[in-house]
A and B are shown apart, each in its own frame.
Chain A
């Protein structure tokens, strides 16, 4: 199959359509999309727009009415569905762990189906539990009901990664947790994906989450029509239409600042200025701005120099001359 390589492979959707019998309009209408290898693409859109249906056609939990799906150049519709699914990671919001099996059995399910030897499965389970920050010795023999919601979602991600599939489908995998746990899981996941470079399709209705996680975002409207498909920075800087803009909300510029790191902006001068507030190099520009406002300053000290308010404006493409407009419009 397409998973000789555990790093991501390209996914191509060609005129993909799903029309449920008896429904006036197709749930997914003629979607064509290329998902580059090793990228995390977020499908974002309101509930009922067909984003989940589109995703589920890729592992054929939903059979397409027409169209083509290629994973690593291979036609998915010609494969045996059960075989196919064993080679695609799948994580869902409600997690769906098997309550009668231990965490180790849950994670080892797909490797087991693929016929891995027991000691290799056991080693893999420990590796994955560590990867999602759960202590293997404490968790492998416990049952799902003994875990908190956040821990279950980590196990869900570990289970999806079990057989090291090149492609993962994730349907709001962090959706059912409280905001703090959710943010924590997202941060961990960003780090994880940096190492793994899987091709991931990630479905959410939360645009903040999309910006945070996505290499690219596909903003979908009714019938899974693509309103805009681009990088988070490009969508924030230049939304295609009103619909996309309405998703972004009123604070597009702040969201763009949140995407940039202090270390990416050239700092001027030396950080000798003693009284200046400090930011770290991997803080976001949004955090830098926050510190400036909090201290009533127009600059702050970074490890490599001084970051000015004008530099922030420049980073998002506004001129220092327009400074006052920007400030007033963002309040």
Chain B
């Protein structure tokens, strides 16, 4: 059986695995974005909160994914629970970091003018600082997503969802029938998902970046 025959014959399994892969990454990214941007908002102007949150999220990222997934089994069990929690935890650093950098990197004069005209801190944040920092925040989210798509493959070791199962199965039966096809299908599927996510973020960035930031003089 060649590769295309393999893909066609296993289409149901493969497409389900690919969908699950994308969904688990999507959910993890959504959760991490909401909390990561929130933490960034609280942290950008408070040096202690800032260094603590960046240090913790960076610390999480140094834990090998295989170890983190395994360690979470006693708490969240096999499958989706541990996968989702670990993926979310890994996603924080780029999002928090870019939110903080984006908000701190704004032109001081813009912020001062806003304060000077009587915008309250909350209004200034929501109407001026956040929209201006948004392109950079979104870049952080995109980096996290790319990272998670790769890490999600490892989730197969805790019986998690996604294309990792294909890869690990193929590798464990190396040399036997279809083992290479399975590994290849899983790997290529992940590449396709990564490209689709990137296209999605490209579109989101284009749609949500304020027009005034896109215009050329």
Please give the distance in Å from A26's CB to the nearest CB on chain B.
22
B110 surroundings in chain A (CB, below 8 A): 96-99
Task: Please tell me if B120 contacts chain A, counting CB pairs below 8 Å.
Answer: yes
Q: Which of the listed residues A84, A96, A102, A169 has the most CB atoms from chain B within 10 Å of its own CB?
A: A96
Min distance, Cβ A97 to any Cβ of chain B, angstroms: 7
Q: Is the pair B112, A61 in contact by a Cβ cutoff of 8 Å?
A: yes
Q: Does A294 contact B (CB under 8 A)?
A: no
| 8 Å CB contact of A102 from B115, B128, B212 | B212
Tell me which residues from 63 to 113 in chain A have a Cβ below 8 Å from any Cβ of chain B.
82-87, 90, 92-102, 109-110, 113
Closest A residue by C-beta to B128? A98
Residue positions of B touching A, CB distance < 8 A = 107-120, 128, 131-132, 210-213, 215-217
Q: How far is the CB of A163 from chain B (nearest CB, A)?
A: 9
CA gap between A75 and B129 in the complex, in Å? 31
Q: How far is the CA of A169 from the CA of B131 in the complex (A)?
A: 27
A133 interface hit (Cβ, 8 Å): no
Interface centre among A87, A92, A98 (most CB of B within 10 A): A98
* A interface residue numbers (CB < 8 A to B): 59, 61, 82-87, 90, 92-102, 109-110, 113, 143-146, 156, 159, 169
CB distance from A237 to the nearest CB of B (A): 36
B103 to A: closest C-beta gap in Å = 14
- Bound complex: CA of A28 vs CA of B112, how far in Å? 20
Bound-complex Cα distance A90 to B210 (A)? 25
Q: Which of A82, A90, A100, A146 contacts B113 (CB 8 A)?
A: A90
> In the bound complex, how far is the Cα of B211 from the Cα of A73, in angstroms?
44
Residues of B within 8 A of A143 (CB): 211-212, 215
Interface centre among A90, A93, A100, A109 (most CB of B within 10 A): A100
- Least Cβ–Cβ distance between A102 and chain B, in angstroms: 7
* Bound-state Cα–Cα, A37 to B216, Å: 43
Least CB distance from B106 to A in Å reads: 10
Q: A177 to nearest B CB, angstroms? A: 15
The listed residue (B108, B109, B111, B116) touching A85 by CB distance below 8 A is B116
Q: Is the CB–CB distance between A84 and B118 below 8 Å?
A: yes
A113 to B118, CA, bound (A): 8
Structural contact, B116 and A90, CB atoms closer than 8 A: yes
In the complex, which of the residues B109, B112, B115, B131 contacts A100, with contact meaning CB atoms closer than 8 Å?
B131
- Is B117's CB under 8 angstroms from A109's CB? yes
Neighbouring A residues of B114 by C-beta, 8 Å: 96, 98
| Interface-central residue, B107, B115, B117, B212, by most chain A CB under 10 Å | B117
8 new A-B contacts, CB < 8 A, other than A61-B112, A82-B120, are A85-B115, A90-B113, A97-B113, A100-B131, A100-B132, A100-B210, A109-B117, A143-B211
Most buried by B among A95, A97, A99, A156: A99
* Distance, CA A85 to CA B108, complexed state (A): 18
27 A–B contact pairs at CB < 8 A? A59-B116, A61-B116, A82-B118, A82-B120, A83-B118, A85-B116, A86-B117, A90-B113, A92-B112, A96-B107, A96-B114, A97-B110, A98-B212, A99-B110, A99-B132, A99-B213, A100-B132, A100-B210, A100-B211, A100-B212, A101-B212, A102-B212, A110-B117, A143-B211, A144-B212, A146-B215, A156-B113
Q: How far apart are the CA atoms of A169 and B118 in the complex, in Å?
A: 13
The docked-state distance in angstroms from the alpha carbon of A56 to that of B114 is 14
Instruction: Write out the residue numbers on chain A whose beta carbons fall within 8 Å of the beta carbon of B118.
Output: 82-87, 110, 113
Known contacts A98-B128, A99-B212, A100-B210: does B113 contact A61 (CB below 8 Å)? no
Q: Is the pair A82, B119 in contact by a Cβ cutoff of 8 Å?
A: yes
A94 touches B215 (CB 8 A): no
